[in-house]
Structure 1
Amino acid sequence: MPRALILGGTGLVGRAIASRLLEAGWQVDVTGRDPARMPAELAAAGGEFIAAERTDGGQVRAALGPGADLLVDCLCYTAADARSLLPLAANSASTVLISSRAVYVDSVGHHVNSDTPPRFEAPIPETQPTLAPTTDIDHRSREGYGANKVAAEQVALESGLPISVVRPSQIHGVGASPAREWAVVKRVLDRRTALLLARRGAGAVHGTAAANLAALVETVAARPGARVLNCADPDAPSVLEICRTIAGHLGHEWAEVLLDDTAPADLGRTPWDSAHPIVLDTTAATALGYRPAGSYATTIAPALDWLVEAAGNGQLPVDEGYFAEYFDYAAEDAFLAG
């Protein structure tokens, strides 16, 4: 039985990867700080929790033990994190470092976290220029997140070890934080009769289902190598299509009000707004043998059900500050009345 160790395996990405591997017959160990956060479905499927702090080299080496067939690092944010990963990767047949599409820059250096939105002229390949690597800016900041990821990637790729760097985009699924779909689900639960969408709902930001990310990790496990791979859903629906998918799944109907540039700028906002499309090219992953678990509509369905159930139980882990701008119903009603 092959063995996988997932560092930070109790979160959105780790639990999806663990679930897929367990279903495929793997022995799966996941690390985390708190055993109470071990997803019940993983424990029921035979997954094992190992208490280990990602930044504690001794604890993660003990978790790895004599080695693994697959090592997945969901918590590698900096060059220092990557350097601590290398001794573990040396004792693993295949290693995956979860990175981000936030590393990419357009032709003038803009990126997804810059004040000026980026403009990518075509689906973004792995060869697209990236931010300059840095270790001088906090990786938890807008300015530092992508640049620190680049620094981590370089340490991994220059090691000569079979480490696959995987770059997803706006990961979604059960347990997501933030669960961007809440911006629409709450409207359904509030029985809103109209949906206002900026830019006529035409914005498009590629998403990555955690289930699709898990499918790529399983593919990489069987084909070790040093490489960079984009990972995204097989489709990149527009904001309007995303909202129709969510409303349709929840059986809700409303009037769609597609706003143009003459509408107030703060109306019709969603987490998928983008002045220009942000779409990843996944040709390299497909050529490696990656087959998505499903489309956006297919993979988002369990997450929508989770959000509705969690909201009904009063257990929804939502950052109200993140979503505040999407629920100004008074401004919407005033606009519609006018």
Structure 2
Amino acid sequence: MADALILGGTGVIGRAIAAHLAAANWRVKVAGRNPDNMPAELRTAGVDFIAADRADAARLRATIGDGVDLLVDCVCYTATTAHSLVELAADAGSTVLMSSKAVYIDAAGNHANSQVEPRFDGPINESAPTLTANDIDHRSHAGYGPNKVAAEQISLDSGLPISILRPSRVHGIGGSRPREWVFIKRILDRRTTVLLARRGTGVVHTTAAANIAALVETVAHTPGARILNIADPDSPSALDISRTIANHLDHQWNEVLLDDQTDDRLGVTPWDSAHPVVLDTSAAAALGYRPTGDYATTVAAQIDWLLDAAKACDRSRILPAADDPYFGHFFDYTTEDRFLARVC
């Protein structure tokens, strides 16, 4: 039986990987700071929890022991954490570092977190230019991508079989800020109309955590130093996503597709983009990876998870906080109603 250690294993990506590997008869351990965050379904599946802070190198070294077949780092954000990953990776048959599509820049140097939206010429492949590595606050918009680039470079320079995965707009059970909540809450609030900016045409490629897990197993069996994009086999628009969620919840609403001249407070979603942001995943496919499903198939479990939490009024670790600033501007019903009163 092969064994795996997942750092940051209780988050949306880590828990999907752990569940996938456990179902494939791997012996899996997940490391995290708080045992209370360990999903019950992982314990039931036989996954072990190890209390270990990502910054505690000695504890992680003791955890990895004589080595593992697979090491996955879901919380490697900086050069410092990459150096510690490399030390651990020396005792792993295959290692995976979770990065992000936020590292990519367009011809003008714009990226996912810049003030000006990027404009890519087409699907982005792994050879596309990236931000320059830098050591500034990785929690900031300006610092997230440059720190990820620094982590990637250190990992690749090690010469070890470390696969770097670059997902986009991850969805799945366990997300701390589930973007799909933008439509789910609207349905629960019995809104009969959905407004969509840019006529709902915005596309920012989605990635199911379950599809990430499938690729992780693929690279575990074919160790190597590489960079791989990972995204869903389809690239739904904001309109597609709104319809997928409404259909899953058997909800009907009127669609109001707004043009660019409309109030920019109206119809915003996490998938808005003036230009499509789509990842080319052909390199992963050439390696033997096969997705577990498209967006509609893979997002269903997350929708049900959030709906169950809403019915139970569970805001402990599932539903976004009522005052979460990320979601506040998505639910400006007062401005919406004023607009609809004028045009309807």
Specify the alignment match of 2:102 in structure 1. 102
Q: How does 1:294-313 map to 2 (within 5 A)?
A: 294-313=293-312
SS at match of 2:72: strand
Q: Deviations over 1:184-238 (max 9, x none)?
A: 0011011111111111000001011000000000000000000000000000001
- Give the one of 318, 321, 325 matched to 1:321: 325
> Equivalent residues in 2 for 1:213-232 (5 A)?
213-232=212-231
Q: Which amino acid aligns with 2:84?
A: S
Match of 2:336 in 1: 332
* CA distance, structure 1, for counterparts of residue 139 and residue 273 of structure 2: 22
CA displacement at 1:321 relative to structure 2: 1.5
Distance 1:308 1:120 in 2: 35
What is the CA-CA distance between 1:311 and the residue it aligns to? 1.1
Equivalents in 2 of 1:183, 1:35: separation in Å? 29
Aligned counterpart, 2:6:
6
1:23, 1:290 → 2: CA distance? 17
Identity of aligned residues (%): 62
Do the aligned partners of 2:4 and 2:71 also contact (CA within 8 Å) in 1?
Answer: yes
SS at match of 1:71: strand
AA at the equivalent of 1:25: N
Q: Distance in 2 between matches of 1:86 and 1:14?
A: 19
Structure 2 counterpart of 1:314, which letter? Answer: C
CA distance, structure 1, for counterparts of residue 261 and residue 171 of structure 2: 32
Structure 1 CA distance for aligned equivalents of residues 10 and 257 of structure 2: 39
Question: Counterparts of 1:1-338 in structure 2 under 5 Å?
Answer: 1-135=1-135, 137-316=136-315, 317-319=319-321, 320-338=324-342
Q: Distance in 1 between matches of 2:243 and 2:178?
A: 17
**What amino acid maps onto 2:231 in structure 1?**
A
Cα distance in 2 for partners of 1:306, 1:215 equals: 21
Deviations for 1:117-167, whole angstroms, at most 9, x for unmatched residues? 1001100000000000011x1111100000000000000001000000000
Q: Secondary structure of 2:120's match?
A: coil
CA distance in 1, matches of 2:66, 2:51: 17
In structure 2, the residue corresponding to 1:30 is in which secondary structure?
strand
Moved over 6 A (4+): none
What CA distance in whole angstroms lies between the structure 1 residues aligned with 2:165 and 2:285? 13
- Local SS of the residue matching 1:86: helix
Whole-angstrom CA distance in 2 between matches of 1:265 and 1:138 = 30
Contact map agreement 2:15 2:174 (CA 8 A) in 1: no
C-alpha displacement of 1:35? 1.2
**In structure 1, distance between residues paired with 2:196 and 2:61:** 49
2-structure distance, mates of 1:264, 1:77: 36
CA-based RMSD: 0.7
- Give the drift of 1:86: 1.1
Q: Specify every segment of 5 or more residues in structure 2 that has no aligned partner in the other structure, as ranges.
A: none
Secondary structure at the counterpart of residue 224 of structure 2: coil
SS in 2 for 1:4: strand
- Kindly provide the amino acid, as one letter, of the partner of residue 131 in structure 1: L
Q: Which amino acid aligns with 2:328?
A: A
- Asked if the contact 2:3–2:27 (Cα under 8 Å) also holds between the matched residues in 1, the reply is yes
Structure 2 SS opposite 1:252? coil
SS at match of 1:221: helix
State the one-letter code of the partner of 2:335. A
| Conservation of the 8 A alpha-carbon contact between 2:29 and 2:49 | yes
CA drift at 1:262: 2.5
Q: What is the CA-CA distance between 1:263 and the residue it aligns to? A: 1.3
